Amino acid sequence: MRMKYIRSPRIDPYFNLALEQYVFDSLDRSWGYFMLWQNDHTIVVGKHQNTVEEIDAAYVKEHGIQVVRRLSGGGAVYHDLGNLCFTFITDCESGGQFDFALFCRPVVRALEEIGVSAQISGRNDILIDGKKFSGNAQYMKQGRVMHHGTLMFDSDLDVVGRALRVPSDKIVSKGIRSVRSRVTNIRPYAPEGMTLAAFESALVSHMFREFDMEEQVLTEADLAAVEQLRDARYAKWEWNYGASPKFQVQKARRVEGCGRIEVRMNVEDGIIRGIDFHGDYFGDGDPAELTARLEGLPLREDALLEGLRTVRISDYFNDMDLETFVSILLQ
């Protein structure tokens, strides 16, 4: 199949996932496409995952990490500007079966050209020295496949571990949990002094030779359509959090001057459908009154703060303010 190369002009994750979908849905299907793109400080969760089960919400908020849901399944991954993402979009040649190796092999061959020995492992990972540097996922629709993967060249591995480390709240859901693996960057194995820009250049050169590609420049109309899709889907809480499977969560926190509070919630479509409180905390208010105010609210900071704006939380939980209470529900 003839291939075209597209380099995203943005590091906005909402734009980049919208760009993938736009290329998949709207560009000429007589061509295949190879795309490169980067996101800054982002967690991307799989289509079938429960977002709150995959991230450390407090760490994510503190460090301004963006969270976005993709169209494909698989596990959650962290992106920063030390990571390069690649996407292949072509007609499906595998009879509707996921074939990860087909799209991982060109990456492995490109790495071999710069002296890096990598291996395809399991279903959807690429490894160096037994450590994962590339996680891959696929989406299929109407005889077309989108394959995308990460290439961690010089990512901050400490942040990778922290952002995707979920606190030990008890969460029961039908979401597909990520399997954590030992990870590494490409840079320690690459030629000495190689930068990410040089690595990208080598990767692109290899792909142009392997697929006889030509570059496609996005038009103003293309970019406008991507922006519209970005705003309509990928930048919305309803897609990134609300589309999570139904789940139950149990949280516990000890608050000075109040005591230990245990919260049990049922959440569906990102909305609190049931909630109750237990523990040795002090408070005179009837918890049923607070439960009634909470049920039906989105499990989202701004919605909770607004929905409880007129409630004196200290009536129910001694010496507690609204912000602390909301942080218990979210973190």
Report the CATH number that the domain containing residue 30 is assigned in CATH: 3.30.930.10
pLDDT, tens digit (0-9, with 9 covering 90-100), for 280-328: 676 767 778 888 899 999 999 999 999 999 998 888 887 788 999 998 8
Contact (Cβ atoms closer than 8 angstroms) between residue 276 and residue 291: yes
pLDDT at 261: 83
Q: How far apart are CA 272 and CA 296, in angstroms?
A: 5
Helix (H) or strand (E) holding 312: none
For residues 47 and 70, what is the distance between their CA atoms, to the nearest angstrom? 6
Contact 138, 62 (CB under 8 A): no
| 202 and 252 together in one domain | no
Q: What is the pLDDT of residue 207?
A: 96
- Residue 295: how many CB atoms within 10 A of its CB? 14
User: What pLDDT score was predicted for residue 171?
Assistant: 52
Q: What CATH number is given to the structural domain containing 277? A: 3.30.390.50
- Local structure of 68: helix, strand or coil: strand
Cβ neighbours, 10 Å, residue 142: 9
Grade residue 82 by pLDDT with cuts at 50, 70 and 90.
very high
Last residue of a domain, one of 240, 267, 298: 240
What mean pLDDT is predicted for residues 33-61?
89
Same domain, 180 and 321: no
Specify the pTM.
0.79
Evaluate if residue 167 carries a pLDDT over 60.
no
Write out 234-292 in H/E/C secondary structure. Answer: HCCHHHHCCCCCCEEEEEEEEECCCEEEEEEEEEECCEEEEEEEEECCCCCCCHHHHHH
- Domain co-membership, 181 together with 209: yes
Question: Which residues have C-beta within 8 Å of that of residue 228, sequence separation ≥ 6?
Answer: none
Same-domain pairing of 213 and 288: no
Average pLDDT, integer, range 176-194: 82
Among 27-41, 189-203, 249-263, which is the least confidently predicted range? 249-263
Q: How many domains does the chain have?
A: 2
User: How far is residue 71's CA from residue 47's CA, in Å, rounded to a whole number?
Assistant: 5
Last residue in a domain, options 182, 207, 240? 240
Supply the pLDDT for residue 105: 94
> 277 and 172 in one domain?
no
Do residues 53 and 69 lie in contact, with contact meaning Cβ atoms separated by under 8 Å?
A: no
Q: Calculate what percentage of the chain has a pLDDT beyond 70.
A: 92
Residue 212 has what pLDDT?
85
Which tens digits make up the pLDDT trace of 310-319?
A: 998 888 887 7
Start-to-end C-alpha separation, the chain: 48
Q: Are residues 217 and 253 in the same domain?
A: no
- Asked which of 240, 263, 280 is the last residue of a domain, the reply is 240
Do residue 97 and residue 22 come from a single domain? Answer: yes
**234-263 residue pLDDT tens:** 999 889 988 777 778 788 888 877 777 888
Residue 179, pLDDT above cutoff 60: no
Contact 139, 149 (CB under 8 A): no
Q: What are phi and psi of 53, to 5 degrees?
A: -80, -15
Do 279 and 233 belong together in one domain? no
- So what's the pLDDT on residue 320? 86
Domain enclosing residue 158, as ranges: 3-240
Q: Write out the DSSP string of 7-57.
A: E-S---HHHHHHHHHHHHHHS-TTSEEEEEE--SSEEEE-TTS-HHHHS-H
Same structural domain for residues 269 and 181? no
- Does the pLDDT value for residue 70 go beyond 80? yes
Buried b (16+ CB within 10 A) or exposed e, 221-253: ebeebbbebbeebbbbbebbbbbbbbbebebeb
Tell me: do 50 and 171 sit in the same domain: yes
pLDDT value at residue 94: 59
Nearest-5° Cα angle at 299, 11 to 42: 15
How far is residue 22's CA from residue 146's CA, in Å, rounded to a whole number? 11
Q: What is the largest CA-CA distance in the chain?
A: 73
Are both 163 and 51 inside the same structural domain? yes
Q: Are residues 146 and 101 in the same domain?
A: yes
How does pLDDT run across 88-110, given as a tens digit for each residue?
999 987 555 678 888 999 999 99
